[in-house]
């Protein structure tokens, strides 16, 4: 996996720098997400691995599948990736682009897992506290998992805060057995 990341990084960086210079981070984010989804489809994977298609034909077919989702810059990016036989890296390129975009915009995606759905006021208070702690804008994604029994588990990048009843019981059991 590290090798794929090493190959994808320069393309993600180039796309990010171009998008930043042209003030089009959101547009490029959408284009790369669409292209990544297209490249992950089984039919497109067969097309990309077909030895009977030239890289120009692969790029053109890929661009046609994406339709209006790609602007001229996005189409050129796809052609460059096809020329260098890197279209299969699009999901990783998109992921790396999003990471750079989050750093630039000082945002972080936070995954909240709760036993019961949070009311909007509780979610807002939690987002404010996390914003203070992480010093970034917060994008919250909620999940409900009744197995937690109660409380909340917060995941923000590498940071995990387990405030669930299940987690606390597991810590208590570990302390009692050691």
pLDDT at 46: 83
| Number of residues in the chain | 178
CATH 3.40.30 in the chain, residue ranges: 107-177
Residue spans of the chain under pLDDT 70 = 1-2
pLDDT at 18: 93
d(CA 123, CA 120): 5
For 68-120, how does the pLDDT look when each residue is reduced to its tens digit (9 = 90+)? Answer: 899 999 999 999 999 998 988 999 999 999 989 888 888 888 898 988 888 88
Question: The pTM is what?
Answer: 0.68
- In Å, what is the CA distance from 48 to each residue of 9, 58, 95? 20, 6, 20
Candidates 3.40.30, 1.20.120, 2.40.50, 2.60.40; CATH matching 107-177: 3.40.30
pLDDT at 138: 85
CATH 1.10.520.20 in the chain, residue ranges: 2-102
pLDDT at 2: 58
pLDDT at 159: 82
3-state per-residue secondary structure call for 86-113: CHHHHHHHHHHHHHHHHHHHCEEEEEEE
- In Å, what is the CA distance from 145 to each residue of 40, 115, 151, 169? 29, 5, 10, 16
In the DSSP assignment, the letter for residue 117 is: P
Contact (Cβ atoms closer than 8 angstroms) between residue 60 and residue 81: no
Q: What is the CATH number of domain 2-102?
A: 1.10.520.20
pLDDT at 148: 79
């Amino acid at each position: 996996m590290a090798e794929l990341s090493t190959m994808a990084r320069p393309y993600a960086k180039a796309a990010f720098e171009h998008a930043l210079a042209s003030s089009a981070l959101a547009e490029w984010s959408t284009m790369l997400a669409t292209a990544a989804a297209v490249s992950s489809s089984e039919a497109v994977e067969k097309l990309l691995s077909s030895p009977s298609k030239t890289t120009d034909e692969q790029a053109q077919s890929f661009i046609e599948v994406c339709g209006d989702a790609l602007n001229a810059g996005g189409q050129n990016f796809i052609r460059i990736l096809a020329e260098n036989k890197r279209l299969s890296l699009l999901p990783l390129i998109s992921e790396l682009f999003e990471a750079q975009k989050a750093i630039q915009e000082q945002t972080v995606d936070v995954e909240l897992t709760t036993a019961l759905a949070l009311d909007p006021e509780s979610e807002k208070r939690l987002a404010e506290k996390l914003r203070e702690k992480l010093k970034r804008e917060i994008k919250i994604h909620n999940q409900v998992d009744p197995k937690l029994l109660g409380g909340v588990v917060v995941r923000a990048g590498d940071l995990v805060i387990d405030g669930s009843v299940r987690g606390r019981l597991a810590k208590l059991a570990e302390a009692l057995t050691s």
